[in-house]
Every structure is written in structure tokens, then in C-alpha cells.
Amino acid sequence: MGITSLIVGDTSGLSFGYYHKSCPNFESIVNQKVNQWVKQDPTLAPSLMRLHFHDCAVRGCDASILLNHTGSERSAAASKTLRGFDLIDDIKAALEKACPRTVSCADILTSAARDATVAAGGPFWMVPYGRRDGWVSIAAETRNVPMGYENMDKLIEFFQSRGLNILDLVVLSGILFLERYCRLFLKIVVALIWQRPSDAGAHTIGRCTCGSIQERIYYYNGTNKPDPSVNPGYLNFLRRKCRWASEEIYLDASTPQTFDSVYYNNLQKKMGLLHTDQLLYSDVRTNPIVTAFVSEPFLFYQQFSVSMAKLGNIDVLTGNEGEVRTNCNRR
């Protein structure tokens, strides 16, 4: 597996050597904890990436998603499926012993998301530090975070309002939607799933609960008809498999247990399980990017680190802004 080291985005107020003197073991502690937890539960890797996205999507990367009180972002309906809070608490407890009142929860979450990506078989990138934790966390503000039902115009608008572009949208959509509905096991890079040349033998098992697609196959957009973008033969298969919402179904109809690019060949046949994935292929603005990633898988691998680095620098608090919490769940 290749490793890409990138310095990307506006790092104003942040520094790559921020903890070199005050907490020199910061990154090693985070890495050790992430690897320990992900080894026990590989599904935590995409969960941590998605938790990081939800934090940065509301008020910037300030750990406001971690605050656990009535009316906080964490209590909102949009946050119900978020996971990884216990891991962040474990990391924070270890860091408070090693260097009390020094490392912010925002920096922990950003670093943990990077290490989770690497643990899942994804790329490495440099993370600058110095983020401060925010004071404000409001459940209502999570309504702006895409839930997987929006059209492409809404998605593009949301990303651009946060300094991200269409390329970032295509790369990071998996954090938004894929892990929201699905449990991904073993080696997987969430976002778009392709085989990298160096990972020819890697395997993945990706499954969704049928409840996540029943609206699409039975009463799409409030009608009594299925989503017209679904291949008719595939639709019949899905209806046979998903008679009950609690049943599970594979993401990839052709090679469900193989980490390969056949999943995106399926999109060409209108056999994408999730509507949001199919939109990436059908929309003229995103189709060329998907096509390029399919033909040159390593481009995606590199771009994932670029987009994640940009994500981690959105509207950060630095200097005298915010605080450093001793407990990530409360002020």
C-alpha cells in the first residue's frame, strides 16, 4: 500500500509542530488507540470519518458534535447513527494523563479520522494542529447537513458554502451517505470503492439494512412506484431480498465480497444500491470525476487525502478562540 503525505488547505493559525513540546506523544497515543479499537471493530473506521465530517459540517471543526447535552448537535435526529464517541473519550482520557489540559477534542477527532482512514487501507496525510474546542452546539443547526435524499444542486451548494468543491463532493460522499446506512467490514476506503493496483487481494463485505432502500424500491418520492433509475432486473432482485426492513443486502450485486471496481461497473448498468451513489454517476457535473476514478483508481486514493485535509481545516477556532476541554462530552 502506498502512502501519500500531503499538506493541503488553509492552515492559518495551525501548526504541524503544535504539540511537539507540550505533548510529544500526542499522535502516537491517538494512533495506538485508533488501531486498537478498529482492530476489534473494523466498522469504527468509516464511523470516525463520518463523525469528523458531521463535526466540521456544523460550525467548522470545533468538536461541537461531541458535546452531550439536551439540544446539542449530538442529540439531533441527524446524529442518531453517528458512532465513535467512546473511542474519542478513551483517547482523551489517555491524553489527559500524559499531558493534562493540552490537547483539544477537535484536534483529537481530526487526527483520529486520519488514522482511521489509514487503518482502513486508505492514504496518510499531514494534519496541522492547534484547533480549539467550540462552546456552542445546537441541534437545529444539523438540519443543514445532507441526509442522503437531496438533489445534486443542494449537495453542491452545501459543499461550496464550506469551501469544498465538486471534486470533494464526489470523494467525500461516502462519509455522508454510505456508512450512514451500511456496515462495512475489513479493508475498505469509504467514499467511492475501487480496487487499487496494490490491493488486488484485499476483500470487503459491505451490507445495508433493507430498511434504508425500501422507499426507493417501493414508493420513491411519495409515489407508489420505484425509483426509475433502478435497473428493472435489479429492482426485482431487491424486492425479493428486501421483504423485511430488518434484512440485509450487499452493496455490490456482482462481487459482494471483493474489494474491486465492479461496483462502479454496476452503476453503469443502473445497479447502484443507494440513490446517492447513482446520482454521482448520472449527473453530468460529477459523472466525469467518477469515470476518471474508475479508469485511474489511484487518482481517487490521492484525492481522498486532499479532500479530507481540506475538510479538517474548515472554520477552525485557534488562539484565544474556543477552549481546550478536559472532557469532550461537556464544557
Are the CB atoms for 125 and 5 separated by under 8 Å? yes
Ranges assigned E (strand) in the chain: 182-186, 204-209, 248-250
Q: Which three cell numbers stand for residue 280?
A: 454521482
Quickly state the pLDDT bin for 175 (edges 50, 70, 90).
Answer: low
Alpha-carbon gap, residue 152 to 209, rounded angstroms = 24
Predicted confidence (pLDDT) at residue 158 exceeds the cutoff of 50: yes
Predicted confidence (pLDDT) at residue 5 exceeds the cutoff of 60: no
9: left (phi over 0), alpha (psi -120 to 50) or beta: left
- CA angle, 108 then 195 then 236, to 5°: 105
Cα of first residue to Cα of last residue in the chain, in angstroms, is 40
Higher-confidence position of 121 and 311? 311
Q: Which three cell numbers stand for residue 181?
A: 446506512
Residue 6 neighbours by CB distance under 10 Å? 15
Quickly state the pLDDT bin for 186 (edges 50, 70, 90).
Answer: very low
CA distances from 148 to 37, 82, 131, 173, 305 (A): 28, 14, 29, 9, 22
Alpha-carbon gap, residue 239 to 71, rounded angstroms = 38
Ranked by mean pLDDT, the top range of 16-30, 180-194, 272-286 is 16-30
pLDDT tens digits, 84-141: 999 999 999 999 999 999 999 999 999 999 999 888 878 899 999 999 999 999 999 9
Are the CB atoms for 297 and 261 separated by under 8 Å? yes
- Buried b or exposed e, range 131-164, using 16+ CB within 10 angstroms: bbbbeebebebbeebbebebebeebbebbeebeb
Q: In the annotation, is 275 catalytic?
A: no
Alpha-carbon gap, residue 178 to 132, rounded angstroms = 29
CA distances from 232 to 1, 51, 224 (A): 38, 35, 16
Q: Which three cell numbers stand for residue 223?
A: 409515489
Alpha-carbon gap, residue 62 to 45, rounded angstroms = 20
Residue 227: the pLDDT is: 92
Partners of 204 in the β-ladder:
186
E strand or H helix at 40, and its extent? helix 26-40
Non-local (6+) Cβ contacts of 284 within 8 A are: none
Residue 293: the pLDDT is: 78
| Catalytic-role residue among 54, 69, 203, 275 | 54
Predicted confidence (pLDDT) at residue 195 exceeds the cutoff of 90: no
Q: Which three cell numbers stand for residue 70?
A: 439536551
Q: Which three cell numbers stand for residue 171?
A: 470523494
Query: What is the pLDDT of the chain when averaged over all its residues?
Result: 82
Instruction: Enter the pTM of the model.
Output: 0.81
Predicted confidence (pLDDT) at residue 257 exceeds the cutoff of 80: no
Instruction: Identify the residue whose cell numbers are 477556532.
Output: 317
Phi/psi at 208 (5° precision): -125, 155
Are the CB atoms for 48 and 312 separated by under 8 Å? no
At position 30, the amino acid (one-letter code) is V
Higher-confidence position of 254 and 12? 12
